[in-house]
Structure formats: C-alpha cells, structure tokens
Amino acid sequence: MFKKILIANRGEIAVRVIRACHEMGIEAVAVYSDVDRDALHVRFADEAYHVGAPPASESYLLADRIIEVAKQSGAEAIHPGYGFLSERAPFVEACKKAGIVFIGPEAEVMEKMGDKVTARQTMQAAGVPIVPGTTDALTDEQAIAFSKEIGLPVMVKASAGGGGKGMRLVKDEKDLQSSIERARSEAKASFGDDTIYVEKFVEEPRHVEIQILADQHGHAIHLCERECSIQRRHQKVVEEAPANRMTPELREAMGQAAVAAAKAVNYHGAGTCEFLVDKHMDFYFLEMNTRVQVEHAITEEITGVDIVKAMIRVAAGEPLGIDQSEIQISGHSIEARIYAE
C-alpha cells in the first residue's frame, strides 16, 4: 500500500480523498494556487505545496508542476479527483514515465473511452447496446445521407464532446447542414477535434448511470445505478440512488452491460457507464466517465462501499475484495447541485 498520495485537486473532492487517505493510514499531500492558500484541503492535508496563480491553467492544470511536487514530496501516487487532469491521457503517461502511480485507468483506456466514436465501436463489439446510429466518423455529406436514411429526429454529436457541447438535435431536414456545421465548429473550439457522428434521437429519455469498480486482476462489479435525468443545459442538477422506475431485471441487465464494458477495455479503478433509457425501458450505452464522479457519495450511501478507498487499493495492485453478490441496496440517497447563473 502507498505511504503518501498527492491529491491534484482542490475543494470538496480534495478533502474527500484526503479523508480516505487518513483513514487508511496514508499521508496526504495537497497542492494549491495563490487564492487557495487557506482553503480547507490545504489545512486538512499533511503537507501542502504551492503550484501557481489562481487560473487553473496556471496551477492545477500544470501537469509538469504537479509531477514535480509529487517527486519533491515523496508521493508514490497521484489521485486526480474529478475535472482538471482527471481524464487527460498525456498526464497519465507522464506519471508513468516519472515512476508515479496514477490512481485511475491506463492512458490508452482513457483515450479509447474518451473518443465517442471509438467507444461506440468498442461497446458494439462487446455486445453492449448502443443508440442506433453510426460507429464511424462522418463527412457532412455522409451525415446528411445517414440522417435521412434512419429518419429524423437525430442527434449530431462531436466524437470528443461532453457536457452538451458539440451536440445538436435536428428535427427538420432543412436544418441538417447548419446543425452539422455548428456542431463541428463548437467541437473544434471546445475540444480541438471536429469529428462528428449521428445517432437516432431517443424520445422521452431518462439518464441512468451505473457505477463500476474493477481491479487489475480481471475482477469487476457494479454498485447499482444513479438517476441523473433532472438536468439544466445538459448538466446534472439532481442525482438519486437508486433510480426511480427501476426493475430488478433492468438493474441486472444494465449492471451486466456496464461490467462487460469495463472488461472490454481492461478497465481498472472506479468508472461510470452512462446510459439512456427510453419509454419502453430499453437502454443504450451513452459514454463512460473514467474517473470518480461528483455524485459518487450517493452510491456510497446506499451500498456502504467506499469508492475512493477502493480506487486507492486497486491502484496499489490489491484485489477488490468484494463480490457482486455482496452488493445490497439499503435506503435512498439524493444529491442536489446549486447553480449560479
């Protein structure tokens, strides 16, 4: 087991990881920008190091500086939390090159699941249901032709997209070209990649995600589901676990699909498979988040499994030590976010 871990984050998630470290007898190293000098995570940690100016691009996103501090402090591993460097494959590779363990999946897994076209191809090959649509990148002409073929409405999506960016709902044929152009432009500006694909629009969808845990010994389990359908501008506002209108049969099928998804890419760590569930209770793979989620705590509440501690143990090479048959749901948990607009 690690003796010292650096947490490359701030705020709530940094405090959450530090608490897990302390409960496991591991020293925690915090990093901070000028504005976070007196923040709770800094005071809570065993050691704290300054990494730069207030803008994240000049502090928390400085991969080289974070790794330099990890070496300076003697940290053996880095927990990225969520956001910032948590899903950046080059950072994972840089950690590996520096001899520091990244608490999360391998870089190639992150790249594969981060590209939605590649992820759709991988899931289809693994037998995981995907939304009807293309599994290849499309030219404008191909996107228009395919949309007409499967029938509108359709979703035009950026392969590198997320959070609603690079995504357009098209209900009228005359809007296809302009929607494709806008999706490409937004994707290029936000992600540096204007690759697009097309999906059939799922009407009256629910957004349900499955939490998974997987170790480096081929063992993977799911921790049931979270309902994330209440959203504002494609951003989650209320999450609850377990989901409403969920049957034991659907839970089992979705859980098995999420585990199959993890095994298909040799995933290890904590991850989340997001699905759309239609009005007929059919479900489709949407994407996989290769990090701990903001809303992980509600799953911990109903299952009693400490997800952050599990991530640390798995990264250290230990087996999960828990079987699917041991996962039981107890109670109901809700998390709500406050949006300032």
Active site residue 291: yes
Give residue 227's identity as a one-letter amino acid code: E
Give the three-class secondary structure for 227: strand
Decide if 83 contacts 68 (C-beta within 8 A): no
Decide if 6 contacts 80 (C-beta within 8 A): no
Decide if 176 contacts 170 (C-beta within 8 A): yes
List the beta bridge partners of residue 60: none
**Cα 101 from Cα 19, distance rounded (Å):** 19
**Cα 235 from Cα 65, distance rounded (Å):** 31
E strands, the chain, in order: 4-7, 27-33, 47-52, 77-79, 101-102, 154-162, 165-170, 196-200, 206-214, 220-232, 235-241, 269-277, 283-289, 333-336
Decide if 100 contacts 71 (C-beta within 8 A): yes
Question: Which residue is associated with the tokens 């540096």?
Answer: 192
Q: 184, 291, 313, 337: which is the annotated catalytic residue?
A: 291
Which residues are identified as catalytic? 291
